[in-house]
Structure 1
Amino acid sequence: MAAAAGESSVMTDPMYDSGGDPASRPGTDLQSDVTSAAGISARMPPGSAEFAPWTTPSLQARLIARGLRRLIKPRRVGRADLPLIRVLMAAMTRSRPLPGVTVERVKAPVHGEWLRPRQPRRGRALLYLHGGGYMAGSPRTHRAITARLAHRLGAAVFALDYRLAPEHPYPAALEDALTAWRWLLDDGWRPDRIWLAGDSAGGGLALALMLACKQQNLPLPAAAALFSPWTDLTCSGAAITENAGRCAWFTAQQLDFAARLYADRHTPGDPLISPLLGDLSGLPPLLLHVSDSELLRDDSLRLEAKARAAGTSVRLRLWHGLPHAWPNFAGLMPEGDACLEDTASALLALSAN
């Protein structure tokens, strides 16, 4: 399992310290009516979510959302536009690792990269699946997340570079994720000491990976953390319409385009494409983070309700007014750092138990 030291890069932006009294953080008002501030109606199952202690988006969050609205959301959707979409998404999310976090690229038997902190916890690892609508993104574009998780968890993080649609539609990404999972197990990592995480499409892929592991009688990870996961490629959540004007990243048309590219000739309702529609019993503990203003809000709300009903331990934290998959902007947006700190603390607490 040991890896030789790879490239080491430095991120100049300091990590946001989310410790201390929540009421002392910017944008926090614990005395306000959080449910009202978050704009969530009575449709949300009562008691199903914890509200993050940020009732007002930070200045950084508002500026980043403005940039997304101008650069990403107005773009046309079509196969001819994919190269530009990929470049823009990479430019908006690319970052460098933290000091003390090394990066080692892996090309066989799977493609990806290891991110390792200076003093890793023995035998602990996390498999990360990046977002990007199954058609964009890479381990490099998501280092703001993976480097911070490696640092906060004190664990080795393997970020998988899975194949993308439309060149490689379903089931290519899932096959790559299964190959990576088997590779980690064959390399001696114990499944109960591996965490799984992903954002957006990567969050949905992580959930689909666990369903596939159940089908194939493979061991499951210790826990999974999903950031704004895309779990329903039929795009049937009410927030697709309700948040059309609030979501900063993309439109319903762009979402449908990405779903059709990935599903290809398969039905989007296949549980391994839309894992929200699968059997969620017998899964490890799930940690979910989602913003109330994004199109994929209900992918997490429904996932939480269905997983809980199936007997799976699940915790959902709802954040107010943030762009989709905001942990990608950790180092620039304090809510991104706070979300990753919360996730790392929760994963470590689960492992301690």
Structure 2
Amino acid sequence: MSSALSAPLVAPVRARSTPQIEEYGGVSIASRALSISLRHTVRPLLDAWALTPSLPWPTGLVDRAAFPLLPAPGTEYHRMTLDTCPAEFVRAPGAGGRTAILYLHGGAFLCCGLTTHRQLVSRISAAAGAPALSVAYRMLPRHPIRHAVDDGLSGLRWLIAHGYPIDRIVIAGDSAGGFLAFSVAHEALRLGLGRAAGTVAISPLTDLDHRPKLDHPNARKCALFPRRAVPALSTLIERAEQIDDRYAPVPSPVDLDLTGMPPALLQTGSEEMTFVDAETMAYRLASAGVPTQLQVWEKQAHVFQAAASLVPEGSRAIVEIGMFVRSLDTV
């Protein structure tokens, strides 16, 4: 294929029930190094976790260990407390105007937080020219996914109360945070809060049924996730759903009635485990009449955008996110 950061390999496909699809070819040396590193470090750890996922793993240490990950130069960030969880308001240089971003971090609903994602959120804020509220939602195994959705809604209400109307708020997230981005946008519609300006989903998990992922060829290609980690996560989610029986389990975004959802941008690596989730979600959004862009990046690792300071494809992908958010501000 062509060199890294090439133009899309195919012309966008435009049809009422089909997403706009762009494929970005080329794999830089830095990207290859990242995939090799993940395959020989993080992936074995996840494989070990999958053998005994119910043990009290110190997942909270992941966010504390991420302090060396600095935000974009000149970024201002302020900690706060929402109704039930912490959050952080992030403003990169030049981020102003009418639009704001609600950001929900990834980490399989188990780990990561404000510190691990501060660099990524600050880069997205800079690219989009918009401040971002990053939410440290409640996580597994002590909380069901419903609590995380509620925390996302709390962040959405905070932005609305501080001068950002919902039609100027873009809801974004990576991996499990992509799941939450769609869920929060859908809940906002259901509760009558209104329609968000857009959604951005980076390497999103959108289907809690692990079988489509394991049946896909990427189950053996993914540089980050081992096969056994997928059903292990499903088991943890099922157990957590029993903690609070006041609510029904949160449905997977791919199973929702997506009519009326805001315009969406989805980014995914071509060989990652959650590729099938992103692809399925894009087609179901488009089938519901939602303007949808699906960007497929050749052989990029799961949430490669988080390595934008090292991987040129990650930097380019964040530029694309910024362009998408800015385009919504002109509507």
Task: Give the alignment's TM-score, normalised by structure 1.
Answer: 0.81
In 1, distance between residues paired with 2:43 and 2:264?
Answer: 30
CA pair 88-108 structure 1, distance change in 2 beyond 3 A: closer
In 2, distance between residues paired with 1:321 and 1:59?
Answer: 12
Displacement of 1:237 after TM fit? 2.3
- Percent of aligned pairs with the same amino acid: 28
Displacement of 1:113 after TM fit? 0.7
Partner of 1:243: helix, strand, or coil? helix
Displacement of 1:161 after TM fit? 0.5
Displacement of 1:266 after TM fit? 4.1
C-alpha contact 2:92 2:131 (8 A) present in aligned 1: yes
CA pair 287-333 structure 1, distance change in 2 beyond 3 A: same
Of the structure 1 ranges 291-300 and 165-174, higher mean CA displacement relative to structure 2 is found in 165-174
Displacement of 1:240 after TM fit? 5.0
Displacement of 1:209 after TM fit? 0.8
In 1, distance between residues paired with 2:306 and 2:66?
Answer: 9
Displacement of 1:59 after TM fit? 1.1
C-alpha contact 2:99 2:130 (8 A) present in aligned 1: yes
Q: Tell me which residue corresponds to 1:72.
A: 42
CA pair 69-81 structure 1, distance change in 2 beyond 3 A: farther
Q: Deviations over 1:187-234 (max 9, x none)?
A: 332112111110000001110111212221221210111101100011
CA pair 28-105 structure 1, distance change in 2 beyond 3 A: closer
Q: Tell me which residue corresponds to 1:98.
A: 72
C-alpha contact 1:144 1:329 (8 A) present in aligned 2: no
Structure 1 position 27 matched with structure 2 position 4? yes
Aligned pair count reads 313
Structure 1 position 274 matched with structure 2 position 247? no
Q: Tell me which residue corresponds to 1:296.
A: 274
Q: Tell me which residue corresponds to 2:181.
A: 206
Q: Tell me which residue corresponds to 2:245.
A: none
Displacement of 1:322 after TM fit? 0.7
Displacement of 1:128 after TM fit? 0.3
CA pair 281-93 structure 1, distance change in 2 beyond 3 A: farther
Q: Tell me which residue corresponds to 1:7.
A: none
CA pair 49-122 structure 1, distance change in 2 beyond 3 A: closer
Q: Tell me which residue corresponds to 2:28.
A: 58
Displacement of 1:89 after TM fit? 7.9
C-alpha contact 1:71 1:88 (8 A) present in aligned 2: no
Q: Tell me which residue corresponds to 2:322.
A: 344
In 1, distance between residues paired with 2:175 and 2:7?
Answer: 28
Q: Tell me which residue corresponds to 2:104.
A: 129
In 2, distance between residues paired with 1:312 and 1:74?
Answer: 39
In 2, distance between residues paired with 1:58 and 1:239?
Answer: 28
Q: Tell me which residue corresponds to 2:133.
A: 158
1:96 is matched by which residue type in structure 2?
L
C-alpha contact 2:78 2:90 (8 A) present in aligned 1: yes
In 2, distance between residues paired with 1:127 and 1:28?
Answer: 27
Q: CA RMSD in A?
A: 2.5
Partner of 1:62: helix, strand, or coil? helix
Q: Tell me which residue corresponds to 2:122.
A: 147
C-alpha contact 2:146 2:249 (8 A) present in aligned 1: no
Q: Tell me which residue corresponds to 1:219.
A: 194
In 2, distance between residues paired with 1:82 and 1:265?
Answer: 15
C-alpha contact 2:99 2:329 (8 A) present in aligned 1: no
Structure 1 position 173 matched with structure 2 position 151? no
Structure 1 regions of 5+ residues with no counterpart? 1-22, 36-44
Q: Deviations over 1:296-328 (max 9, x none)?
A: 111111111111111111010111101111111
C-alpha contact 1:239 1:294 (8 A) present in aligned 2: no
CA pair 113-249 structure 1, distance change in 2 beyond 3 A: same
Structure 1 position 107 matched with structure 2 position 81? yes
Structure 2 regions of 5+ residues with no counterpart? 11-16, 243-247
1:125 is matched by which residue type in structure 2?
A
Displacement of 1:170 after TM fit? 2.5
In 1, distance between residues paired with 2:18 and 2:319?
Answer: 26
Of the structure 1 ranges 224-233 and 119-128, higher mean CA displacement relative to structure 2 is found in 119-128
Displacement of 1:122 after TM fit? 2.6
Of the structure 1 ranges 272-281 and 258-267, higher mean CA displacement relative to structure 2 is found in 258-267
